[in-house]
A and B are shown apart, each in its own frame.
Chain A
């Protein structure tokens, strides 16, 4: 068993706050990446979304996990808009639907929720690994976590492995040809740039993993 500690809704807000700091620190870089191959709005969407989630703190701290995740999903959907809103909204909406999450969540269940969420995001965006999107980070990370749970490896080792996997996925987007999203309109010109969505996802995953490592 990975660990028995239970995660509550405070875990969500605590991580959202830590993510906000990391994303803000890396905002100029993400904005520049998006201006190179996108339309430059990704960082603002992400920052707006995180802010809206953190503002939910007083409401969701009294809610069950499924209701809290649903609130976050709806807030992200309506508050971000664009592809990011739909994709991250789908991630949280799917996690909220995983059975029995209100009976308590250990890390194993949290990982299963995340894996289900990533699968739904993949369906929604119709993108797979190798298309120069955030799926180049999320899919390998989900696979890494799933394998870790199956092999029952130590949680801290798994978090370190996940950080590495996310970074590898993010860097892999540099030489890929974009075939999904706005960068796809660039064709060959999209090569040589890291995907901004992959970078922001990698930073968020790293932050959550680090926060688990530090507890």
Chain B
């Protein structure tokens, strides 16, 4: 394992310290338990949005704390859910009197820990569960679809609604709607290495890819030989479109997300290939996002996300945001 680290035990602490110091104008990092809040106190009467999950997906979620997005984030250990004491501490720190919306990705650990936190806090709270990964079949007999890159879209759009005075109920409804309107699928060219494990999570041949990979290196639909980008794109988009069923001339947001180890040049190439496919299907790209937002440590790979848009979603996507990882309109 080659990584920038001093000891695996201090990996998260030192990374958070650096994040906190580098972006102290936007966020503050607090320790024991680890939470990230906005550096300026949330205004009273605003619904607060708290998210969290395992570390290793940076900039998600800490990079999305700030004006127009999250009020706080709870980073767990690498690829491990945060614990209820973190969510409780975050709630106490940022609570604005109008309730708390938790944004949780659909993994057993995250669900259980956020559920315990909601049971332990006294104020009103709601939870939006993200499950946009179309690689996994959704059925009542399984844990269901994973929450992946659409989390970024949900946090941006719901964050805007909360910032502009939306109620807890309205934020919950909008969050569920964005999740329902979103579909994602990813592909990996290499594994990632969890610092504490010291070796790759899975093995992939030099000419192989994992199709439908999860953001912790979980297996997807199948393992295959690497194909030309256009073919990979078509298959990813095909699976997403089959799930979302956009209609002719529907407007969408196209999000090309890097897993951490793929250069932007390749992500833009994927965007180009995806645009060609979508143009042919008369699906209109109205908004775009390209970059490493929901990563899996150093994994080589990318995911595509489509979110079906309407006027309301476009308005909240365009509204000002000022976080460490996303900033526009300000």
Please report A residues at the B interface, Cβ cutoff 8 Å. Answer: 31, 35, 39-41, 44-45, 74, 77-87, 89-90, 124-125, 179-182, 184-187, 189
Known: A179-B141, A182-B218, A185-B219. A41 touches B194 (CB 8 A): yes
8 A Cβ contacts from B200-256 to A: 201-202, 214, 216-220
| CB–CB A82/B194 < 8 A | no
Chain B positions 140 through 172: 1 when the CB is less than 8 Å from some CB of chain A, otherwise 0: 011100100000000000000000000000000
Q: Does B21 contact A (CB under 8 A)?
A: no
Q: Which residues of B contact A40 (CB under 8 A)?
A: 194, 197, 201
Residues of B within 8 A of A180 (CB): 108, 142-143
- Pairwise interchain contact B112-A78, C-beta atoms closer than 8 A: no
**B136 vs chain A, min Cβ distance (A):** 5
Interface size on B, residues (CB 8 A): 37
Q: Which B residues are within 8 Å of any A CB, using their own CB? A: 33, 54, 76-86, 107-109, 112-113, 115-116, 136-137, 141-143, 146, 194, 196-197, 201-202, 214, 216-220
Q: Which residues of B contact A85 (CB under 8 A)?
A: 81, 83, 109, 113
Q: Which of A35, A81, A182, A184 contacts B76 (CB 8 A)?
A: A81
**Given A31-B197, A41-B197, A82-B76; A182-B83 close (CB under 8 Å):** no
Q: Is B112 a contact of A83 with CB atoms below 8 Å?
A: yes
Partner of B85, one of A44, A78, A124: A78
8 A-B Cβ contacts within 8 A?
A77-B113, A81-B83, A82-B113, A85-B83, A86-B109, A181-B143, A185-B142, A187-B137
Would A125 and B219 count as touching, CB distance under 8 A? no
Assembly CA distance A141 to B132 (angstroms): 37
Q: Are A86 and B81 in contact (CB under 8 A)?
A: yes
- Contacts beyond the supplied A81-B76, A182-B218: 9 A-B pairs with Cβ under 8 Å: A39-B201, A41-B194, A81-B77, A81-B82, A82-B109, A82-B113, A85-B81, A179-B142, A185-B219
The complex places the Cα of A41 from the Cα of B79 at a distance, in Å, of 8
- How near does chain A come to B210, taking the closest CB pair, in angstroms? 12
8 interchain residue pairs of minimum CB distance? A86-B112, A83-B109, A82-B80, A82-B109, A78-B85, A184-B142, A39-B216, A78-B83
Cβ distance B145 to chain A, nearest Cβ, rounded Å: 9
Given A77-B83, A81-B77, A82-B109: A39 in contact with B142 (beta carbons within 8 A): no
Closest to B220 in A: A185
- Find out whether the CB atom of B112 lies under 8 angstroms from the CB atom of A124: yes
- If over half of B's interface residues share one DSSP class (helix, strand or loop), that class is named, otherwise mixed; here it is loop
* B residues in contact with A184, CB < 8 Å: 142-143
Majority-rule SS of A interface residues: helix
Least Cβ–Cβ distance between B13 and chain A, in angstroms: 14
| A35: contacting residue among B83, B142, B202, CB under 8 A | B202
User: Are B218 and A185 touching (Cβ within 8 A)?
Assistant: yes
CB of B301, distance to nearest CB on chain A (Å): 15
Instruction: Please judge, given known A-B contacts A78-B83, A181-B143, whether A87 and B216 are in contact too, CB under 8 Å.
Output: no
**Bound: A189/B202 CA distance, A:** 14
CB distance from B85 to the nearest CB of A (A): 4
Please pick, from A86, A89, A185, the residue contacting B143 in the complex, using a CB distance under 8 A: A185
Give the complex CA separation of A31 and B201 in angstroms.
Answer: 10
A-chain residues with CB within 8 Å of residue B33 when the two chains form the complex: 78
Within the complex, what minimum Cβ distance (angstroms) separates A171 from chain B?
A: 23
CB of A39 to closest CB in B, whole Å: 5
B114 CB → nearest A CB, Å:
9
With both beta carbons as reference points, the residue of chain A lying nearest to B219 in the complex is identified as A186
Distance between Cα atoms of A82 and B113 in the complex (Å)? 7
Q: Which residues of B contact A35 (CB under 8 A)?
A: 201-202
Is the beta-carbon distance between B112 and A44 smaller than 8 angstroms? Answer: no
- Of A81, A89, A179, the most chain B CB neighbours within 10 A belong to A81
- Please tell me if the beta carbons of A39 and B194 are within 8 angstroms of each other in the complex: yes
Chain A residues within 8 Å of B112, by CB: 83, 86-87, 124-125
Of all chain B residues, the one with the shortest Cβ separation from A76 is B83
> Please, which residues of chain A bring their CB within 8 A of the CB of B143?
179-182, 184-185
Q: Known contacts A41-B196, A182-B216, A186-B219: does B113 contact A81 (CB below 8 Å)?
A: yes
**Minimum CB–CB distance for A192 against chain B, Å:** 14
